[in-house]
């Protein structure tokens, strides 16, 4: 009996020891530190890259985009123009929402209609849906859109509209999405939890129709502070970060335990100048008294400001080489890029001469307003430009604030001179022309981010003609002409395109994207 008991105990010990020596099955988890806060979890509320970046994990669009912003099938397998006013989209069969319900054409119609019903949007998506005059459900997996005029950009526009479940989100409010009650999509990850200004928790969608992500669980940590984000990577608290602080890039590249990835973005960083009001609030004379007239209405003043900015110095001293000085809305080789629109050359004497010709030989006082946690080195860029303008005679100070605060004020046109960035989300230049430089006409979905209220009817006419031109070569020529008119008019003051960076721990690889998105589904274990 004792012998049998001893043998049994010995066997148990061996079994236990053997168990501990076996590799433990462990869920694949990925933690990513994002560089900007999320203002809303409602994918139709605010057209803002940080919001869209998170939405891309949970929701999908009819038309997708690859890492170079080229169109590819998404929830629609194919699309075609039936005639000049009709587009037909064939929807992917067998796609399920996260709750197990079927994706159908009715969900597409609902989602597109919902975009126009969102109240108080600080950045509406309606610019991408206004062309649709009506929708026709042919069957569960076929939908047709009618446009009032020929509109070749519809597939591009629909690459920006996220498709929701009509069943789940039929009566949902933006607050419902922020509370995590209705965040049901078709994307590669399921929503788990949203902690405002802290993190978004996701879980792999094992029923996903496409390529399954490598990660069972994903945590998107919101760490806008550059040193904090980098420290999290170095401490091993996260596996990857976006927007490596530029002063630390060389150190990161030399770290054998880390990897870096870079890509030129289609985002243009620029300044809006108030060109609407006769008096603008943050411009005074040298004694601090409001000017009788708004200097930004004068083309010579706008040209002087552009000439006073040393874009190469910003590139070398502020951006550590991680910017592409630009006079364009989109970088080459994107559709609509204008080779002749080269970056304005730094010309301090020329700037002073133009100011004098405009009636400001002694300059004036100006306040620049900018975010301090949204774009790469945004606050430093504003400070550098302030110093440059001051040397030209425009005594400039800077006020910066978190993006969430900044947007609420800037979008209400409370400031005179504002820093903003804009990515060409549709993969071509009208994506910037329409919201940034077209005359503000909300009923047409134009000028939604035209904070300077720049208006050039000639440019508007060319742009509108371009958007209804079927021939690609002719349409690009028209877009180039529209961009040239607006930029020669200094409708905005362009600075540069960002060169974006990512860093990962060794063994984790990322495919960098021109749209700046940091997508968990694009990370792989190597």
> What average pLDDT does this structure show over 480-498?
98
> 508, 526 in Cβ contact below 8 A?
yes
> Percent of the chain scored above 70 by pLDDT?
95
- What class does CATH assign to 264-499? alpha beta
Q: Which of 458, 422, 429, 464 is nearest to 446 (CA)?
A: 464
pTM of the model: 0.84
Task: Please give the pLDDT value at position 386.
Answer: 98
Tokens linked to 214: 């490598």
> What average pLDDT does this structure show over 104-129?
94
Tokens linked to 394: 């425009």
Q: Does domain 37-177 have CATH number 3.30.70.260?
A: no
Task: Please give the pLDDT value at position 60.
Answer: 98
> 338, 480 in Cβ contact below 8 A?
yes
* Among the ranges given (45-49, 174-178, 396-400, 435-439), the one the predictor scored with the smallest mean pLDDT: 45-49
- Say how far apart CA 108 and CA 163 lie, in whole Å: 6
- Say how far apart CA 56 and CA 242 lie, in whole Å: 16
* Tokens 């979905």 -> residue: 445
- Say how far apart CA 496 and CA 489 lie, in whole Å: 18
pLDDT tops 80 at residue 418: yes
Task: Please give the pLDDT value at position 279.
Answer: 96
> What average pLDDT does this structure show over 290-307?
97
Please state whether the peptide bond connecting residue 217 to the residue before it is cis, i.e. omega within 30 degrees of 0: no
- Say how far apart CA 329 and CA 420 lie, in whole Å: 13
> 202, 218 in Cβ contact below 8 A?
yes
> 369, 282 in Cβ contact below 8 A?
yes
> 471, 462 in Cβ contact below 8 A?
no
pLDDT tops 60 at residue 278: yes
Question: What CA–CA distances, in Å, run from 163 to 55, 63, 160?
Answer: 10, 11, 10
- Rg, the chain, Cα only: 26
Q: Which residues in 8-75 belong to E strands, given as ranges?
A: 29-34, 60-61, 63-65, 71-73
Task: Please give the pLDDT value at position 5.
Answer: 39
Task: Please give the pLDDT value at position 181.
Answer: 97
pLDDT tops 70 at residue 95: yes
> What average pLDDT does this structure show over 116-141?
94
Q: How far is CA 324 from the centre of its chain?
A: 17
Tokens linked to 277: 């009001």
> What average pLDDT does this structure show over 2-13?
39
> 129, 115 in Cβ contact below 8 A?
yes
For the chain, give the mean pLDDT: 93
Predicted confidence band of residue 17 (pLDDT cuts 50, 70, 90): very low
Task: Please give the pLDDT value at position 160.
Answer: 96
Task: Please give the pLDDT value at position 526.
Answer: 82
Q: Which residues in 111-245 belong to E strands, given as ranges?
A: 132-139, 142-147, 162-163, 189-195, 199-204, 217-222, 240-242
Same topology between domain 37-177 and domain 264-499: no
> 28, 216 in Cβ contact below 8 A?
yes
pLDDT tops 60 at residue 238: yes
Predicted confidence band of residue 443 (pLDDT cuts 50, 70, 90): confident
What pairing do the DSSP bridges indicate for beta strands 86-91 and 71-73?
unpaired
Predicted confidence band of residue 16 (pLDDT cuts 50, 70, 90): very low
Domain ranges of the chain: 37-177, 264-499
- Say how far apart CA 200 and CA 183 lie, in whole Å: 12
Tokens linked to 415: 């400031």
């Amino acid at each position: 009996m004792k012998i049998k008991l001893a043998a049994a105990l010995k066997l148990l010990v061996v079994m236990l020891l053997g168990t501990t020596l076996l590799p433990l099955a462990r869920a694949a988890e990925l933690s990513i530190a994002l560089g900007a806060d999320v203002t809303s979890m409602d994918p139709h509320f605010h057209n803002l890259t940080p919001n869209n970046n998170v939405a891309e994990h949970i929701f999908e669009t009819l038309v997708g985009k690859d890492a170079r912003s080229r169109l590819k099938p998404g929830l629609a397998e194919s699309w075609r123009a039936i005639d000049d006013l009709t587009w037909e989209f064939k929807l992917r069969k067998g796609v399920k929402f996260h709750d197990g319900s079927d994706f159908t054409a009715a969900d597409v119609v609902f989602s597109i209609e919902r975009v126009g019903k969102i109240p108080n949007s600080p950045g509406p998506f309606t610019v991408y849906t206004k062309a649709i005059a009506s929708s026709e459900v042919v069957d569960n997996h076929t939908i047709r859109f009618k446009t009032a005029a020929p509109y070749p950009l519809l597939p591009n526009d629909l690459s920006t509209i996220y498709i929701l479940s009509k069943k789940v989100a039929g009566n949902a409010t933006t607050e419902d999405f922020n509370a995590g009650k209705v965040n049901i999509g078709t994307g590669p990850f399921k929503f788990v939890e949203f902690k405002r200004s802290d993190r978004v928790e996701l879980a792999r969608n094992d029923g996903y129709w496409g390529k399954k992500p490598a990660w069972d669980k994903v945590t998107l940590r919101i760490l806008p502070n550059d040193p904090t984000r980098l420290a999290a990577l170095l401490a091993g608290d996260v596996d990857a970060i976006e927007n490596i602080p530029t002063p630390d890039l060389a150190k990161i590249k030399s770290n054998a335990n880390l990897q870096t990835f870079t890509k030129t973005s289609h985002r243009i960083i620029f300044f809006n100048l108030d060109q609407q009001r006769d008096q603008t609030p943050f411009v005074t004379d040298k004694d601090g008294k409001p000017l009788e007239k708004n200097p930004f209405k004068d083309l010579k003043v706008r040209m002087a400001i552009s000439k006073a900015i040393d874009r190469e110095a910003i590139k070398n001293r502020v951006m550590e080489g991680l910017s592409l000085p630009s006079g364009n809305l989109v970088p080459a080789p994107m559709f609509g890029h204008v080779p002749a629109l080269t970056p304005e050359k730094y010309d301090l004497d020329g700037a002073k001469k133009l100011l004098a010709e405009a009636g400001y030989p002694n300059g004036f006082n100006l306040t620049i307003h900018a975010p301090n946690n949204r774009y790469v080195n945004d606050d430093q860029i504003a400070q550098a430009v302030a110093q440059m303008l001051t040397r030209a005679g425009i005594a400039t100070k800077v006020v910066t604030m978190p993006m969430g605060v900044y947007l609420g004020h800037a979008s209400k046109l409370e400031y005179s001179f504002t820093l903003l960035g804009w990515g060409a989300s549709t993969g071509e230049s009208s994506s910037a022309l329409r919201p940034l430089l077209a005359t503000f006409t909300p009923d047409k979905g134009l000028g939604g981010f035209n904070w300077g209220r720049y208006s050039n009817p000639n440019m508007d006419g060319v742009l509108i003609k371009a958007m209804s031109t079927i021939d690609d070569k002719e349409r690009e020529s028209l877009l180039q002409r529209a961009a040239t008119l607006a930029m020669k008019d200094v409708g905005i003051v362009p600075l540069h395109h960002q060169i974006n960076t990512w860093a990962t721990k060794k063994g984790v690889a990322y495919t960098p994207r021109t749209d700046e998105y940091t997508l968990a589904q694009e990370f792989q274990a190597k």
